[in-house]
Structure 1
Amino acid sequence: MMADNQAIGLSPCATPGTVCVLGIDLGTTSVKAALVVETAQGQIVTQSCSRETQAQANSPAAGAQGMEQDVQKIIKALNECLAAFPQEHLQRNWTQYSSSSRTRSNYKGCKWAESGTGHTFQPGEVSHLITWQDGRCSSSFLSSLPQPQSHLSVATGFGCATIYWYLKNSPDFLKPFDAAGTIHDYVVAMLCDLERPLMSVQNAASWGYFNSRSKSWNTEILRESGFPLDLLPEVGDPGGIAGRMPHDWHGIPKGAEVGIALGDFQCSVYSCMTERTDAVLNISTSAQLTVPMPLGFQPPETPDSLSAVAYFPYFDGNYLAVAASLNGGNVLATFVDMLACWMAELGYDVLESHVYTQMINAALAQNATRLSICPTVFGERHMPEQLASVTSIAASELSLGHVTRALCHGIIQNLHSMLPFQHLKEAGVKRILGSGSALSRNEVLKQEVEKTFPLPVIYGKDVDAAVGAAMVMLHRR
C-alpha cells in the first residue's frame, strides 16, 4: 500500500456532508495510519496512529548487501495500528482508503479470520519484502542488463532489477510465485480480493523498465532477455480505485472502496506543497529536494544514468524534478554510532541520544569551519561508487563542533550539488518547505539550509505520506 510509502472505502457517511478517508503509510521502519475527516464546512480533522514494524530479516541469498523484511511482521504492525484507533471512528461509513511504501514483495494470497473488531488477514505464501535500500545489484550487474525504454535508469532496489538478480543468481527462488508487487500493492490486492495486483504509474516507474508516457512495461525488451513477464502487475492511474473490500476490516464496513496504492514520496509532497512555486526539502533517513515541473512537461525518452535529478510521475500527468539523495539523517546516525563505539572502546558507556545532543550543541557554538566533509557514505544512485571524504583538515579545526558543523554543511551541499539554487530560481521557486525528522530536530542543518538556499524557508510543514494519501483520495472524489 502506499507509504517509499493510500486510501480505503466508500458508503454514505453517518453525518450528512462528512467525508471520511483513511490513509496508510507502510514505511521502511514503521506503519502509520491517518484518518482524515472533511466536514460540510470544509474543515479537515486528522487522527493518526503508528507502530514500528521491527521487520528486518536476514537475506541468505544476498548476504550483507541484501535488505529484506518479514511481511508477517509488517501486517502484524498494520493490524495493531488499526486496532489502536477508537472503534467508533473506524466504524463510520467511508469514502476511501489508500496507502504507500517503497518496498517490493512477491506474494500468493492471504488468510482472512474474524476478530473482535471485524475481519483481519494474515499473509499466505509470500516472500520476504526487498526494500528500496537493498544493495545486491552491483554497478557491474546493472550495466549487464538491457537498456530500458524509460526516462529513469534502473538502480539497485528497483523491483525489476531484483527479479533479474534472482534470475541470474537463484532462479529457483522465483518458481513458486505467480505475481510480484510492492508491499502496498499486496495489501490492496488482499483487501480487494484481486486476482492480480494493481500498481500505480508512480510505483511502476520506480520498478524500472516502465514507460510513463505510454503507461506500459517494456515488454519486448523484457521478453527478449528472458524476464518472467507473468510476475508484473497491471498498471493504473494514481488516484484511481482498485476495488471494494469483500469483508469488513477492523470495523471498516464491507464494500468500502480501496484506492490504487500510490508512491510514498509523491504523497509526502502532496501533504505539504500548496503552490507550484514551492520547493519541498525533506531530510529524514535519506534526503530529497523537489520542485514541480511546468505543466505539459514530458521527460526524456532515454535515461541519463549520470544525472543527479530524476523526474517522478506525480498526479494528473504532471512530474516532479527530484534530487533524491541516499545521504540524510542516516549519515548523522552513522556519525553518532561511530562516536558511541569509540567511547565504548575507551571504556565509557554513553547513550547515543546524549552524544547527539552534545554534538549539536558544540556545532551551534561553531558558526563556520574550513573543514570540508563529503558525506556520501551510502553513495548516490548516479554515483554508486562514490564514498565519503574529509579534506582541508587543520589541527585547529578538529573539535567536535567543527566536525559536526562540517558534516551538516556537507549534507546540504551534497543536495545543492544535485539541484542547485540557480535551478530553483529558474523554476520560479519562491519558498522552501522544510520537513522531515532529521531536519526538524537539528538547528545546525536548518542554519546550513538557509545559508545555501537564500529563499524563505518554512519549517513545520512535516510531510506525511499517510495524510497525503488520504488527501489525494479526498480531492479526487
Structure 2
Amino acid sequence: MEQDVRRIIGALNECLAALPQQQLQRVSHIGVSGQMHGVVFWKREKGCKWTECGTGPAFEPEEVSHLITWQDGRCSPTFLSSLPLPQSHISLATGFGCATVYWYLKNSPDFLKSYDAAGTVHDYVVAMLCDLKKPLMSVQNAASWGYFNSRSKSWNTDILKKSGFPVHLLPEVGDPGSIAGRTTSAWHGIPKGAKVGIALGDFQCSVYSCLTERTDAALNISTSAQLTISMPPGFQPPETPDPSSAVTLRHQVQESAIYTKIIKAALAQNDSKLSVHPTIFGERHVPEQLASVTNIAVSDLSLGHVTRALCRGIVENLCSMLPVQRLVEMGVRRILGSGSALARNEVLRQEVERIFPFPVVYGKDVDAAVGAAMVMFHRK
C-alpha cells in the first residue's frame, strides 16, 4: 500500500505531454484532485527539480518519500485505540495521514526527521507547481487526515502537541475553491503564472461533477461504493466522532474473463435466500466486522444464486448506512447511478431498483478531474 511518487508524477507528466499544445497554452487556471487520506513526506527546499522535456519544463520528485495510501493497514485497532481522541467529526482509521505519522513516530522516528513537509500526493503537486514554502491543504483533505475540526477549520494542535506529534509537518489549511498560488514555471506548455487551485478530494470532485440538484442522491459502485446526498445550507458537522457511524464502505470489484457468464447466471435467478454481508475488507466504522454468508442451503449454492445474493448484499449494506427513510427526510427524489460496476452489471442495477424507491438514472458522468476543473471554472 505504498506507491512510488516518482512513477505517479511520471505518469502525470506523460498525460500532460499527450494533450494538444495549443490548448495547454490557453490554460489560465489549474484544478487538482486526488485520493484522500494518504500521506507523502518531502523536503521543502528539495522536493523536486525542474527539467526540460520535449513539450517544455516538467518537474521530477527529488527528496520525497513513498505515498502511503488510504488503503495502508499498518495501524491496527489496538494501535489506534492508544492514540488521543480527536476533536473531529471523523473517527480515526488506518490509512489516515495523522495516524500514519503517529505510527512512524512510535516505530521509526528517524524516518520523520528526514523531512520537514507533508501532505497528500495532490497537495505535493500543488506545492511543487507554486513553489510553496509551506504546504497548503484544503479542509477536505485535512478532515480526511484526522485530528481536524471542520467547524473551526483548524488542526487539533493542543491535542497533538501533548502527545508529541510533530505538528511542524502539518500543512496550512484553506477553503475549497481558493487559489493556492501561481505556477512558477511553464509546465508542458501551460504558461508561467497560471493560477493553481488548492488540491481537492477526489470523492468531493466526483460528486460535484454530477450532482446538479439538491434532491438527487449519487450512487457510485466501482472500485469502492458510496451513496451521497447534499446536506442543507448551514449544516455543521459534530465536533466529536461517532465511532459507530458508517463513514465509508470499501469493496474491490475484480476484472474477470468469466464476468459475463457470472452475470448471465445471476439474471436467471430472480431471488436467493442466501444472505451475503460483503465487507471482506471491513469498514472504517467497524473494521473488525468482516464478511459473512448466512442462510446457506443446497438449493441456493449455484453460481447464479451466489452472485445474486452478493449483489444484493452490496446494495443492502449501502442502504443500511444511509437508509431510505433518511433519504426521504432529506428530500431525495432521484438517484444518479454511476461507476463501472453498475454500468456492466445488470444484476446490481436490478437490486438498486428493488431496494431504493426512487427513479434511478444511469450513465451520469462522474469524474474527479472534471469536478476539479468545474471548481476552478466557477472560481473565475
TM-score (norm 2): 0.97
Which amino acid is the alignment partner of residue 116 of structure 1? G
- Matched residue, 1:326: 250
Residues in 2 aligned to 1:410 and 1:93: alpha-carbon distance in whole angstroms: 45
Cα deviation, residue 353, structure 1? 3.1
CA contact (8 A) 1:371 1:397 kept: yes
Cα deviation, residue 87, structure 1? 1.4
Residues in 2 aligned to 1:192 and 1:393: alpha-carbon distance in whole angstroms: 58
Residues in 1 aligned to 2:11 and 2:146: alpha-carbon distance in whole angstroms: 29
Cα deviation, residue 245, structure 1? 0.7
- Matched residue, 1:340: none
Residues in 1 aligned to 2:148 and 2:227: alpha-carbon distance in whole angstroms: 23
CA contact (8 A) 1:96 1:474 kept: no
Residues in 1 aligned to 2:359 and 2:281: alpha-carbon distance in whole angstroms: 30
Structure with greater proportional helix content: 2
CA contact (8 A) 1:216 1:235 kept: yes
Q: How many residues align?
A: 376
Query: Which moved further from structure 2: 97-106 or 191-200?
Result: 97-106
Is residue 188 of structure 2 the alignment partner of residue 263 of structure 1? no
The one of 184, 192, 195 aligned to 1:254: 192
Which amino acid is the alignment partner of residue 459 of structure 1? Y
- Matched residue, 1:186: 124
- Matched residue, 1:453: 356
Cα deviation, residue 114, structure 1? 1.2
- Matched residue, 1:286: 224
Cα deviation, residue 283, structure 1? 0.8
CA contact (8 A) 1:98 1:473 kept: no
Once superposed, what is the RMSD of the aligned Cα atoms?
A: 1.1
CA contact (8 A) 1:434 1:462 kept: no
- Matched residue, 1:430: 333
Residues in 2 aligned to 1:373 and 1:149: alpha-carbon distance in whole angstroms: 35
The one of 324, 327, 337 aligned to 1:421: 324
Which amino acid is the alignment partner of residue 444 of structure 1? V
Cα deviation, residue 93, structure 1? 4.5
TM-score (norm 1): 0.78
CA contact (8 A) 1:244 1:256 kept: yes
Query: Which moved further from structure 2: 101-110 or 252-261?
Result: 101-110
Which amino acid is the alignment partner of residue 367 of structure 1? N
- Distance of aligned partners of 1:84 and 1:223 in 2 relative to their CA distance in 1, 3 Å threshold: same
Post-superposition Cα deviations, 1:83-133, rounded to whole Å, max 9, x if no partner, equal 111212112252343333223211121010112211001001000001111
Cα deviation, residue 354, structure 1? 2.4
Structure 1 runs, 4 residues or longer, greater than 4 Å off:
none
Cα deviation, residue 462, structure 1? 2.7
Is residue 3 of structure 2 the alignment partner of residue 69 of structure 1? yes
Residues in 1 aligned to 2:300 and 2:132: alpha-carbon distance in whole angstroms: 61
* Structure 1 runs not aligned, ≥5 long: 1-66, 311-323, 334-351
Query: Which moved further from structure 2: 241-250 or 98-107?
Result: 98-107
Cα deviation, residue 440, structure 1? 1.3
Which amino acid is the alignment partner of residue 40 of structure 2? S
- Matched residue, 2:40: 105
Is residue 335 of structure 2 the alignment partner of residue 397 of structure 1? no
CA contact (8 A) 1:200 1:262 kept: yes
Post-superposition Cα deviations, 1:255-296, rounded to whole Å, max 9, x if no partner, equal 111000011111000000001111001111111111111111
Post-superposition Cα deviations, 1:357-415, rounded to whole Å, max 9, x if no partner, equal 11011111111111111101000111100111111111111110000000100111111
CA contact (8 A) 2:42 2:115 kept: yes
CA contact (8 A) 2:34 2:202 kept: yes
The one of 152, 160, 170 aligned to 2:98: 160
Which amino acid is the alignment partner of residue 126 of structure 1? V
- Matched residue, 1:223: 161
Identity %: 75
Which amino acid is the alignment partner of residue 29 of structure 2? T
CA contact (8 A) 2:31 2:199 kept: no
